């Protein structure tokens, strides 16, 4: 837990979420609303990523996960996928120095093997360059699907059983946790979805078991650090009982 969050607990003030995850939705609708191409909508959405990062830092959040490209997004028109991959390349090349300067550690979760080799290399470089940063851990979900993540975890556990290093009777929630892409990362306290839609869309389904949700009517390209702060303030009004009675 970050010092800011620990201090809030000691003083009796509302706790800050340790981990915030965002489903970044609405680039296409923003483009239609503003009479521009979907490509421009995605580029404007990339600016909102910076706002989210600054919002997380401003509020003392330790982990921020962004749902950047789902496993289902591969089914979009080839031109749109190509634009998104180009935008990803540009971000990985241009923003890493800024992330390092701001103390942000980058990690990517998802099926990297489905990405082109040059993007995989850029990801490795970015993770290496930022690995010692401690101000904020930024997880970017790329070619990510929660069902696939859970299925891959099951395969890994089954392999351990088959080789004799794990007994079936010893399989627990922790066993599954350790086989997920987010092993060692705390579960999200707050999940934000923009554009007014109210669904998870195959995002962090295991990890979201006790997350609070904030569904914002704002389209992702219009998301600001103030939007982030407003969601955190709303989170601080929630009574989180984790299934227990008061």
Residues 6+ apart with CB under 8 A from 200: 23, 146, 191, 208
Give yes or no: 234 in active site.
no
Among candidate residues 27, 34, 73, 222, the one labeled active-site is: 73
CA distance 19 to 59: 11
Does the annotation mark 73 as catalytic? yes
Which has the closest alpha carbon to 228: 55, 61, 68, 62? 55
From the list 25, 83, 189, 222, the catalytic residue is 25
Which of the 8 DSSP states describes residue 17? P
- Is residue 127 left, alpha or beta, with left meaning phi > 0 and alpha meaning psi from -120 to 50? alpha
**Percent of the chain as helix, strand, coil, to the nearest 5:** 50, 15, 35
Residue 98: C-alpha distances to residues 77, 119, 130, 191, 209 (Å): 32, 19, 10, 25, 33
Q: How far apart are CA 199 and CA 179, in angstroms?
A: 25
CB 17 within 8 A of CB 189: yes
List, by residue number, the catalytic residues. 25, 73
């Amino acid at each position: 837990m970050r010092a800011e969050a620990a201090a809030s607990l000691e003083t009796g003030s509302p706790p800050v979420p340790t981990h915030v995850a965002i489903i970044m939705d609405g680039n296409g609708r923003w483009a239609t609303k503003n009479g521009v191409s979907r490509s421009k909508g995605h580029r404007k959405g990339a600016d909102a990523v910076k706002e989210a990062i600054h919002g997380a830092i401003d509020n003392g959040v330790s982990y921020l996960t962004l749902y950047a490209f789902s496993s289902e997004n591969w089914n979009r028109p080839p031109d749109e996928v190509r634009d998104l991959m180009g935008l990803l390349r540009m971000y990985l090349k241009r923003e890493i120095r800024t992330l390092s300067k701001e103390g942000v550690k980058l990690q990517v979760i998802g099926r990297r093997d489905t990405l082109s080799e040059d993007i995989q290399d850029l990801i490795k470089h970015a993770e290496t360059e930022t690995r010692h940063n401690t101000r904020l851990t930024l997880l970017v979900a790329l070619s990510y699907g929660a069902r696939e993540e859970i299925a891959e975890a099951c395969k890994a556990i089954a392999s351990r059983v088959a080789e004799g290093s794990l007994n079936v009777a010893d399989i627990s929630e922790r066993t599954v946790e350790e086989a997920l892409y987010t092993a060692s990362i705390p579960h999200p306290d707050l999940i934000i979805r923009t554009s007014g839609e109210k669904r998870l869309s195959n995002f962090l389904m295991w990890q979201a078991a006790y997350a609070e949700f904030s569904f914002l009517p704002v389209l992702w390209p219009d998301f600001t650090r103030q939007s982030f702060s407003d969601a955190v303030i709303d989170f601080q009004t929630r009574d989180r009982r984790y299934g227990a009675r008061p």
